[in-house]
Amino acid sequence: MGGLIDLRYLVLQKEHFGAFIEHLNLISKVVAPVRKDQKTNQFSFEEVSQAEEIALNYIPTILPPKKYFMPQYETLAEYDASRGQNMQPVVEVEKLILFGVHTCDLAGIQCLNVVFNDRPKDINYLIRKGYITLIGLECNNYCDSFASCGLMGTFLPQGGYDLFFTDLNDYFMVHIATQKGEELIKNFQFFTDPAPKHFKDLQHLREKKQDTFEPEVPIDRNLIPKMFAEGFEAKVWEEIGNRCLSCANCTNVCPTCYCFDVMDVPNLDLKTGKRIRVWDSCQNEPFAKIASGESFRALRSDRKRHRFNRKFSYPVKRYNKFFCTGCGRCSRTCMAKIDLKETITQLAQETGYLHTKEGKVWTSS
């Protein structure tokens, strides 16, 4: 069975899915993908109480589940200056179950885990992470044309979850990955042991996906960091820089962007207040400005180049990981219609790394 047979797999019939969501709600708050509007194809992670609210087939949500691990606005400390420099640390936590996380977003959370575990460790992030239970949901098909999960290799599950659901028509194949996941289902009576047929179905789906999710840009993924190094002065950066509006939509919706600012917010008495952390963006001109007024990346072209290198080059050197997960959110939300796949294709053309496809063999053009 290709190594799929594992005692940590169980089967849940679709008819019992509603009861399972009710079971989760008895344990803690449940968050899942929900369609924002029946007329639009937009989704968001929101609190749910029943299965009917959950969108099992959805394109990546407007904001990634990163918002639960690293909130847009987060209190780090509270202070009272009336009694000297009295500041008390704060960790805002909430126990929740995050259901329906696609593999691209699981990959994004894994990137954040690496960053915030790096020295100096981010205690607030790590404590909050411990309160969240992750239940993944497999994409059986492409979500839309903006995705590049084939290029980034994120279309199959690669860990980072407690439970993982795969929709196989009238039932779910469920992989139990952690003790937390085991605890979550131990008192739910409707899970059954898988039969050989269930493993065959799962293997068939995964084999089909291997053929479907091919690299969306014809380049060798292993050579991407080298391509970015050689393309530092490529014309594509100026071209997309001229189009960029510096709105920072791309970084706000990215599942791996983690830049933030810290500021003190006083109350009206001007003696008490709080220190907060807020999302920031390398696409904002003041981001790289120093005290003398100089900016290291005053040009939009420099900022666009920096952002792409922060996904495909710099983290590979430091963490041996790409920080693009192929979710397509940046292209989907860009008001200037800057498309990630088109940008990489143009860079590959300029640097000579683009290939043509003949059958299933990549050959130099």
Give the tens place of pLDDT for each residue, 243-269. 999 999 999 999 999 999 999 999 999
Q: What's the pLDDT at 2?
A: 39
For position 137, what pLDDT does the model report? 98
pLDDT of residue 105: 98
Angle at 118 between CA 112 and CA 120, to 5 degrees: 120
**CA 284, CA 257: separation in Å to the nearest integer?**
14
Count of Cβ atoms closer than 10 Å to residue 228 Cβ = 22
pLDDT of 85: 80
Predicted confidence at residue 44, as pLDDT, reads 97
pLDDT under 50: residue ranges of the chain: 1-5, 358-365
**Amino acid at the residue 48:** V
Residue 164: beta bridge partners? 136, 175
Predicted TM-score (pTM) of the model is 0.93
Q: Give 24-39 pLDDT, tens digit per residue.
A: 999 999 999 999 987 7
Residue-level pLDDT at 7:
59
What string of H, E and C letters represents the secondary structure of the chain? Answer: CCCCCCCCEEEEEHHHHHHHHHHHHHHCEEEEEEECCCCCCCEEEEECCCHHHCCCCCCCCCCCCHHHHCCCEEEEEEEECECECEEEECCCCCCEEEEEECHHHHHHHHHHHHHHHCCCCCHHHHHHHCCEEEEEECCCCCCCCCCCHHHHCCCCCCCCCCEEEEEECCEEEEEECCHHHHHHHCCCCCCECCCHHHHHHHHHHHHHHHHHCCCCCCCCHHHHHHHHHHCCCCHHHHHHHHHCCCCCHHHHHCCCCCCEEEEEEECCCCCEEEEEEEECCCCCHHHHECCCCCECCCCHHHHHHHHHHHHHCHHHHHHCCCCCCCCCHHHHHCCCCCCHHHHHHHHHHHHCCCEEEECCEEEEC
Residue 233's region, left for phi above 0, alpha for psi from -120 to 50, else beta, is alpha
Length of the chain as a residue count: 365
**CA-to-CA distance for 346 and 341, rounded, in angstroms?**
9
